[in-house]
Chains A and B, each alone.
Chain A
């Protein structure tokens, strides 16, 4: 069949056209296109890898931050607690001290009061004694100012002496 026999001319021109197309395209089209396609794919892959890495780093940073925050929070709580304890302790100590001081003062005051009281009592006693002596002296002076009184007294004294 005629259709199945290839013509020389068309074969010849096809060969030339195809080879020319091949060599021209290889140099001016496929080379640049394929290489920049490869470059682009590589850069996209790199970018994705970098993004992944950065994401990982970010996550790590975030978790570290979280950790730091928790730590700080814990520390704060601890400090607050300590401060509170210290405050309580100081207040308690002060209270204790004040109480002791007050007791001491009270005791001192009581002692002093006692002393003063005793002194006062002694003074009162002395005063009373001297007053009594004075009174007795006055009475005696009064009684002895008169002659019969002196005689009666001398008698009484002599009776005492006799008696002795």
Chain B
């Protein structure tokens, strides 16, 4: 679990890079727009047209189009190379609407009083508000449920297809051959499956581990593959999105709640061998700790992956930050920046697998606590009670 300690380190690296940049930016005497966030102030460099905050958060947050790059034409006009994705919105009273995000493309953006970018174009009374996130809002201020197939959703669907293809093609080999030595991709897959079974499920879930194996494997491969897809250039930051990690941890939390046995609830709501007065103190803490579990799962995966992405983006962006100062500085910083980002990428490859493992392992630990039969525990309590008397 030493990686948990890595997260503050990443934040530190990120913070250092941002603060070092901000001092440069101030030296440039730019008319930075004062913003609440320190690094946001650092990112506001209007002169060269680079907004690092927008760049970084544009990359790590979800979008209704799959953006690849911007081309600056000879006339200075920027052409965005991006695939518009389908927008699906549900408005109570108005019903479901499906249309392409390209409907908002014409017209450009203006800044509102809060510093949000607002699209000039409206479509069916809807407009786009962009800050760190891209939101579709109604002009009349009514509620809009956005169920669009965003970049993250598309990336997730791709990952689902990849996983399905990999796993079912591997599973076919098992179906056809009775008992045969594994070949090819089967070997690689088996290492992971056996690792999850022997290192995650068996030690944590007891003898009923086989029941939970499909869930553990699905969680593991879903997170791992999406972590890796997120590392591809142009890939979506799916597992670094709190909605995704929240969904995954809620799924495992629901499984926990459904599978939890009497012994678990008994210990939670009426801890045996505890004086009544302390119970009033202990039970709320226990209940809070129960709900902390999915929160911890959510935050851990989200923060680790997001931090990795932000650090890589910052390190790469440094080339352009220094390039904005002077061409020489920019070119000179290329090897440093590439070295850093190469290091970060290899680290992230590791983190991708480790975070998938940690999420799966903690899920197994939590479920294991909930389904524990508690024979050993009862005995332990008996001893402590006997000792107390």
B163 touches A10 (CB 8 A): no
Task: Select A6's contact among B149, B174, B243, beta carbons within 8 Å.
Answer: B243
A15 touches B251 (CB 8 A): yes
Q: Which of A18, A25, A37 makes the CB contact (< 8 A) with B248?
A: A18
Please judge, given known A-B contacts A22-B214, A25-B164, whether A5 and B242 are in contact too, CB under 8 Å: yes
Instruction: Knowing A12-B147, A29-B170, say if A21 contacts B244 (CB, 8 Å).
Output: no
B residues near A5, Cβ cutoff 8 Å: 242
Q: Does B304 contact A (CB under 8 A)?
A: no
Contact of A36 among B174, B215, B248 (CB under 8 A): B174
Could you say which of B133, B147, B164, B210 contacts A8, with CB atoms under 8 Å apart? B147
Is B175's beta carbon under 8 Å from chain A? yes
Compute how far the CA of A72 lies from the CA of B371 in the bound complex, rounded to whole angstroms.
67
Q: Is the CB of A37 within 8 A of B190?
A: yes
Interface residues on A, range: 35 or more
Whether B132 lies near A2 (C-beta < 8 A) is yes
Q: How far is the CB of A9 from chain B (nearest CB, A)?
A: 4
Q: Chain A 6-32, CB within 8 Å of chain B: the 1/0 string?
A: 111111111101111110111011111
Answer whether A14 and B248 are a contact pair too, CB < 8 Å, given A21-B222, A29-B168, A43-B179: yes
Knowing A10-B241, A21-B218 are in contact, say whether A34-B193 is a contact too (CB < 8 A). Answer: yes
On chain B, the residues within 8 Å of A31 by CB distance are: 214
The interface stretch among B76-84, B153-161, B276-284 is B153-161
Complex interface: chain A residues within 8 A of B215 (CB): 22
Chain B nearest Cβ from A94, distance in angstroms = 76
Complex Cα distance, B237 from A7, in Å, reads 14
Contact with A along B342-357 (1 / 0, CB 8 A): 0000000000000000
Cβ of A39 within 8 Å of any chain B Cβ, yes or no, is yes
Q: Does B65 contact A (CB under 8 A)?
A: no
In residues 136-164 of chain A, which contact B (Cβ within 8 Å)?
Answer: none
Residues in A with CB closer than 8 Å to B251 are: 15, 18-19
Interface of A is mostly: helix
Q: Is B146 an interface residue (CB 8 A)?
A: yes
A13 vs B247: C-alpha distance when bound (angstroms): 9
Q: Is the CB of B318 closer than 8 A to any CB of chain A?
A: no
- In Å, the complex CA distance between A1 and B57 comes to 12
Q: Which residues of A contact B222 (CB under 8 A)?
A: 18, 21
The interface residues of chain A lying within 8 Å CB-to-CB of B24 are: none
| Interface residues contributed by chain B, number (CB under 8 Å) | 49
Asked if B150 is at the interface of the complex by the 8 Å CB criterion, the answer is yes
Residues of chain A contacted by B147 (CB below 8 angstroms)? 8-9, 12-13
Which chain B residues numbered 176 to 213 have a C-beta less than 8 Å away from chain A? 179, 189-190, 193-194, 197, 210, 213
Across the interface, A13 reaches (CB within 8 A) one of B149, B179, B242, B246, namely: B149
Residues of B with C-beta under 8 A to A34: 193, 197, 210, 213-214
Q: Find out whether the CB atom of B157 lies under 8 angstroms from the CB atom of A17.
A: yes
B213 pairs with A25, CB closer than 8 A: no
**Are A39 and B168 neighbours in the complex by a CB distance under 8 Å?**
no
CB B178 to nearest CB in A, in angstroms, measures 8
Contact A21 B164 (CB under 8 A): yes
**Closest-CB distance, B159 to chain A (whole angstroms):** 8
In the complex the two chains form, is A8's CB within 8 Å of B146's CB? yes
Distance in angstroms between the alpha carbons of A91 and B41 in the assembled complex: 127
15 contacts between A and B (CB under 8 A): A2-B133, A3-B306, A6-B242, A7-B62, A7-B133, A11-B243, A14-B243, A15-B247, A21-B222, A24-B164, A25-B163, A25-B217, A30-B218, A34-B197, A37-B193
Given contact pairs A18-B218, A21-B163, A30-B171, a sample of 16 additional A-B residue pairs in the complex whose CB atoms are under 8 Å apart: A3-B60, A7-B133, A8-B145, A9-B145, A9-B146, A10-B247, A22-B215, A25-B167, A25-B168, A29-B168, A29-B170, A30-B217, A33-B189, A34-B213, A36-B175, A37-B197
Q: Hey, which bits of chain B sit against chain A, CB under 8 A? A: 57, 60-62, 88, 131-133, 145-150, 152-153, 156-157, 160, 163-164, 167-168, 170-171, 174-175, 179, 189-190, 193-194, 197, 210, 213-215, 217-218, 222, 241-244, 246-248, 251, 306
User: Interface of A with B (CB < 8 Å)?
Assistant: 1-15, 17-22, 24-26, 28-34, 36-37, 39-40, 43
Closest 9 pairs between A and B when the two form their complex, measured CB to CB: A6-B243, A29-B167, A10-B243, A26-B214, A2-B132, A14-B247, A36-B174, A30-B214, A29-B171
